[in-house]
């Protein structure tokens, strides 16, 4: 039976474990990650004709690959899964520490959980504000054609991979949510900070409007 909430002991265990894992495993080169996304997107655009189509194809393949990786290690991390959406803030903190180390607070503010009764959409959501965008690190003026991206947010390529993880958690704990990501602020579009928002829509109420 899925647990309702992560207890203090599991959180203590996670706090110790994340430091050991971060120390043990090879560190990620963030600039290389950013450059890889840019180069792959541009190569797809050469083949498909525009960056919008390239974005959709790259996102689809990258997200599926990320989901497969997450699924393969799910047994190792599911002790930190619970039905309480607010516990996802703790899971987020673990994930960001593993990827970025203790410096992750230089890149992200502490994400906020907003219950359904306090949102305009009438569904719960988590808002993550970005102080430094890892994805944009290698982007120069003219690299990204915003008119071709349209409604798409450039950082959503990586964000959708993390959304796959959140969806996997929700399915694992038998929460009936469809998790949808929206980039609500973006440095490339002139905003002072980046922001990604996760919406938790009831699956039975999912419509085409959900994904717009």
> Is residue 96 over pLDDT 60?
yes
Please write the tens of the pLDDT for every residue from 25-63. Answer: 666 677 888 898 999 999 999 999 999 999 999 999 988
Residue 83 falls inside a structural domain: yes
d(CA 164, CA 63): 7
Residue 1 falls inside a structural domain: no
Residue 2 falls inside a structural domain: no
Band of the pLDDT at 206, cuts 50, 70, 90?
A: low
Residue 173 falls inside a structural domain: yes
- Structural domains counted in the chain: 1
d(CA 118, CA 74): 32
More reliable by pLDDT, 99 or 153: 153
What's this model's pTM, rounded to 2 decimal places? 0.82
Cα distance from N-terminal residue to C-terminal residue, the chain: 34
Residue found by looking up tokens 């430094």 in the block: 132
Q: What is the CATH number of the domain that holds 78?
A: 3.30.1380.20
Mean pLDDT of the chain: 85
Host domain of residue 202: 8-211
């Amino acid at each position: 039976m899925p647990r309702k909430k992560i207890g203090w002991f599991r959180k203590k265990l996670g706090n110790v474990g994340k430091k050991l894992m971060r120390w043990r495993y090879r560190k990620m080169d963030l600039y290389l990650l950013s450059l890889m996304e840019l180069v792959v997107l541009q190569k797809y655009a050469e083949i498909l004709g525009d960056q919008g189509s390239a974005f959709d194809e790259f996102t689809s393949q990258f997200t599926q690959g990320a989901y497969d990786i997450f699924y393969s290690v799910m047994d190792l991390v599911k002790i930190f899964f619970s039905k309480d959406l607010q516990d996802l803030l703790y899971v987020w903190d673990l994930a960001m520490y593993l990827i970025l180390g203790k410096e992750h607070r230089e890149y992200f503010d502490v994400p906020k959980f907003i219950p359904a009764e306090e949102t305009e959409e009438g569904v719960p959501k988590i808002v993550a504000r970005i102080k430094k965008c890892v994805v944009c690190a290698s982007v120069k003026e003219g690299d990204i054609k915003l008119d071709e991206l349209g409604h798409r947010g450039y950082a959503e390529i990586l964000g959708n991979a993390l959304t796959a993880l959140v969806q996997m958690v929700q399915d694992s704990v038998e929460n009936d949510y469809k998790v949808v990501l929206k980039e609500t602020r973006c440095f490339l579009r002139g905003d002072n900070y980046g922001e990604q928002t996760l919406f938790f829509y009831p699956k039975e109420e999912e419509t085409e409007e959900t994904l717009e």
